Amino acid sequence: MLRIITHIERLLLVHDCVIVPGFGGFVLQAVSAVYDEKEHLFNPQRKEIVFNVTLQHNDGLLSESYMQMYDVNYRKAQLMLEEDVADMKVVLQEDKKLSLGVLGSFSLGMEGQVIFHPGESDAFSVGSYGLVSFNFPQLQPVLAEREEVALLTRKRKKDILYIPVNRKLLRVAAASAAAVALFLLVSTPVKDVNQAAYTASFVPTEMVVKSAPEIKPTEEIASEETIAPEINEVKTERKVAAVAPSREVKRQKITPEPAIAKPNLKMYHIVIASFPTEDQADKYIAGVDRQECKHVSKVVRDGKYRIYADKFDNREQAESYMATLRMNEKYKDAWLFISR
């Protein structure tokens, strides 16, 4: 009987429901985090075990666990499971109680009904492993300290002199200071100004010719050559003062691609036989009537070749087909195999 307890504990770490054929099912039920106002206690999220006596069918989990641990075929594993279930019922009827370790215990009521008492272990709360309950006491109000703080703040307010200032005036002053600083940084330095160029631009050429005495031809040519580069210099300086307009760069918004949901790869096989070698499996498949099992095939898992009559991606359809197939005497031991 103790070996079935070990199998149930191992399976509950992976599955939320484990059914003992002909006895009932153990179901893990999630319990949300709770805060106890009276005790000021925070309890983390956990999973508790409940027992459903109406779950009597064979889901194949315990049989497969027996096969893997004891290296036996499905028929032998089924017989071992039936023996353990019978022992559990005998102990419960004789002693009126049955202990299953960390899972909990059973007892018989006054009217013979089975009562389950769940264990207090958090071993099956894998999602909240390591989280424990903790107490956070409520802080008591300290009126004396609050009054002292209020008095100190009042004294500080009396010692401080507040001068009312218009916010709009502060903004205008700050903007003016920023404009002056920007003007001083951007304006042309005085040492770079060509005084001769500005003087030449303001004095007309006709006035210079009329007032000036007669000059030899060679001297006139020289004076014109000296004035020309100065004028060109002014033009170049005026061109440099122009600033190219800045262009605004538009940023393109990148929209994230929608996440692609991964398909569920879980398949449910209705197994009718299991063999250790591929030759034996092929011979068995060759002898199966195709009218009874149209989609017969094999699946390999843990070095064993399992022959299945059909497979489905929906558990309800698989269980319905298995119930129909078991009506046939040849396939009365058909069982459900779940692959991922």
Per-residue model confidence as pLDDT tens digits over 18-55 = 999 989 999 988 777 777 778 777 777 778 888 998 88
Write down which residue in 122, 145, 160 finishes a domain: 122
For residue 340 the two structure tokens come to 């991922």
181: three-class secondary structure by DSSP: helix
Supply the CATH number for residue 280's domain. Answer: 3.30.70.1070
- 292 or 79: whose pLDDT is higher? 79
Q: At what angle do helices 74-95 and 61-70 cross, to 10 degrees?
A: 110
Per-residue model confidence as pLDDT tens digits over 55-76 = 888 888 999 999 999 999 999 9
Separation CA 170–CA 60 (nearest Å): 81
**Three-point CA angle 282, 288, 291, nearest 5°:** 140
Q: Is residue 117 in a domain?
A: yes
Q: What average pLDDT score do residues 78-91 get?
A: 90
pLDDT computed for residue 162 by the predictor: 57
Q: Is residue 169 in a domain?
A: no
Q: 272 and 333, same structural domain?
A: yes
Per-residue model confidence as pLDDT tens digits over 176-232 = 888 888 888 876 555 555 555 545 444 454 444 444 444 444 444 334 444 344 444
Residue 242 has pLDDT above 60, yes or no: no
Q: Is residue 133 in a domain?
A: no
Q: Is residue 177 in a domain?
A: no
Write down which residue in 92, 122, 152 finishes a domain: 122
Write down which residue in 122, 157, 185 finishes a domain: 122
Separation CA 33–CA 40 (nearest Å): 13
**Domains contained in the chain, number:** 3
Q: What average pLDDT score do residues 86-109 get?
A: 88
Q: 84 and 39, same structural domain?
A: yes
Q: Is residue 199 in a domain?
A: yes
Structural domain of 9? 2-122
Q: 118 and 14, same structural domain?
A: yes
Q: 113 and 37, same structural domain?
A: yes
Q: Is residue 21 in a domain?
A: yes
Separation CA 248–CA 243 (nearest Å): 15
pTM over cut 0.95: no
